[in-house]
Amino acid sequence: MSEPQAAVPKTWTLGPESEYRFELDPGTSVAIKLVKGQAEIFGFELVEGMVHLFGFECKAAVFTWRGCVIEMSEPSTEYVSDETPMKNYANLHIALEQMRVRALRRIRGSPVPPHEVTKKSDPPRILILGPEHSGKTSVCKILANYAVRMGQGWTPFIVNVNPSEGGWAAPGTISAAPILGPIPTASPANPLGNAATTAPLSLTANALFPLAYWYGYSETKRNPLLMDRMIRNLGENLNDRFELDTQGQASGLLVDTPASFSTGPASNTHRQKLIKACIEAFKSESIFNMIVVVGHEKLNVEMQRTYGSQLTVVKIPKSGGVVELDYSYREKVQQYALHGYMYGQVIKLPPGVTKGIFGGEKLDELLLSPSSTVINFEDLQIFRIGSESMAPSDALPVGAARTVSEMQPVAVDPASPGSGLLNAVLALLSPPNEDENERYDEEILDLTIEGFLVVTNIDIPKRKMTVLAPNRSTFTGRTAVVGSFEWQEL
């Protein structure tokens, strides 16, 4: 078969405050080069003359404040728009920047200028809410990128409580990470950056060290009690970190939420409970002080009524560029994230393109080689939280009681034919408390995760199973938890 013809690169000249939006079909990639001027993708600045690669059905926009010239190979869909809400996002960023400066001054005990004496000095702690595909994650990324680009040493924390996305590493997690450098966008998997746990050591430039808990399901309504507990755990852990990290504390917190916090079929009580869990979890010394509602008038009014007396509720417009993502696309992105976790980013270059950077990294540094290990059933203790098919407590018939509670860790026997472990994604938990006296029944729910495994084969007669993991290590004596995610070949 002949090689696909190299397409002649196209050039676009973008006027000030306009953006070039593109979408990629499965199996395609695009190369974009900034020829002249300045441009950014969700706040991440493109380097002039460098070829930036995008793949895995990425949908994004190259935005420019002052105009630029870009050159690119052919994406699947493309258009330019000069109607963007970027000015609103930049204004919000400026307000947050002032909060950071005042907060750092207070934390360090520096003198306060007379005209600022009456102003509050809490760092920005923001809950970002909005309906499905309103652009919450993109707003979160833009605000974090603008903060780190200020050159003030800010390291804002992003908290991802959207288990369908999982933030870093893999879907199913509730996680947080300090953002140390601008977050690139190259693939929809790991939209908030890559975790160092999976990346090769050479990726130190962009690698993040997230703090993650394993919820194990895509949807928040699957086990709301567990979600609530994980969010509170994360909040507690972060508040402890802030006590040791004044710059991080002043940089603030951006919480990216799933759409089920804001709208959709879930009951109002379910939504309100999750929002309340977030607000209470991250309050410690300085309370949550802002709710940002992306493009939803009714939700904005509801939040004003409920929380307006305690915190600032701000509505910002939704970008016309946000793409509506369907269920099958989201599932595919989850698989891209899991495969990326194990194998790194294997991207097919566009015809005629021979080099470039992908998410800020060189291509040959993006490949990983996971290892397949055969272990005994007894080596690894595997649990599932609650029973396999679990309706939330409030959905049970009146008077009906559960035999297994939603929060109960239930041991899973790989020898049982219905274990559901084959091809399952397992989260490997960090070791429990060394002091036996400090242990408790539900400790598993409160342990952070260290990584992920996939069970690729189960040999019941020999009582052995094969697990795929990013690196060769022993699992003897370790504990893992299974959720609902399954490994699929791409």
Ligand X SMILES: Nc1ncnc2c1ncn2[C@@H]1O[C@H](COP(=O)(O)OP(=O)(O)OP(=O)(O)O)[C@@H](O)[C@H]1O
Indicate which single residue of 17, 97, 112, 133 sits in contact with ligand X (rule: CB under 6 A): 133
Closest CA to 207 of 229, 183, 224: 183
CB of 31 to ligand X, least distance (A): 17
Copy the structure tokens of residue 291: 């709710």
Pick 104 or 183: Cβ nearer ligand X: 183
Pick 134 or 289: Cβ nearer ligand X: 134
Contact window for ligand X (CB under 6 A) among 125-133, 144-152, 276-284, 398-406: 125-133
Indicate which single residue of 39, 177, 208, 322 sits in contact with ligand X (rule: CB under 6 A): 322
Per-residue string for binding with ligand X, 277-316, x by CB under 6 A? ----------------------------------------
**Residue 188 binds ligand X, judged by CB under 6 A:** yes
Indicate which single residue of 73, 134, 194, 286 sits in contact with ligand X (rule: CB under 6 A): 134
List the interface residues with ligand X, window 223-262 (CB under 6 A): 258-259
List the interface residues with ligand X, window 55-114 (CB under 6 A): 59-61
Indicate which single residue of 33, 52, 102, 136 sits in contact with ligand X (rule: CB under 6 A): 136
Asked if residue 425 lies in contact with residue 338, where contact means CB atoms within 8 angstroms, the answer is yes
Burial 466-480 (b: 16+ CB within 10 A, else e): ebbbbeeeebeebbb
- DSSP label at residue 195: B
Pick 321 or 483: Cβ nearer ligand X: 321
Pick 54 or 242: Cβ nearer ligand X: 54
Asked if residue 303 lies in contact with residue 323, where contact means CB atoms within 8 angstroms, the answer is no
**Residue 132 binds ligand X, judged by CB under 6 A:** yes
Pick 262 or 479: Cβ nearer ligand X: 262
C-beta nearest to ligand X: residue = 321
| Cross-strand partners of 376 | 464
Count Cβ atoms within 10 A of the Cβ of residue 263 and give its class: 0-12 exposed, 13-18 middle, 19 or more buried.
middle
Chain-centre distance of CA 422, in angstroms?
26
Asked if residue 480 lies in contact with residue 447, where contact means CB atoms within 8 angstroms, the answer is no
Contact window for ligand X (CB under 6 A) among 101-109, 135-143, 350-358, 435-443: 135-143
Pick 9 or 131: Cβ nearer ligand X: 131
CB of 248 to ligand X, least distance (A): 24
Strands 51-54, 357-358: pairing kind: parallel
Could you give the CA distance from residue 58 to residue 60 in angstroms, rounded to a whole number?
6
Could you give the CA distance from residue 91 to residue 98 in angstroms, rounded to a whole number?
11
List the interface residues with ligand X, window 160-179 (CB under 6 A): none
| Cross-strand partners of 216 | none
Question: 429: helix, coil or strand?
Answer: strand
Could you give the CA distance from residue 15 to residue 82 in angstroms, rounded to a whole number?
8
Binding stretches for ligand X (CB under 6 A): 21, 59-61, 130, 132-138, 188, 258-259, 319, 321-323, 325
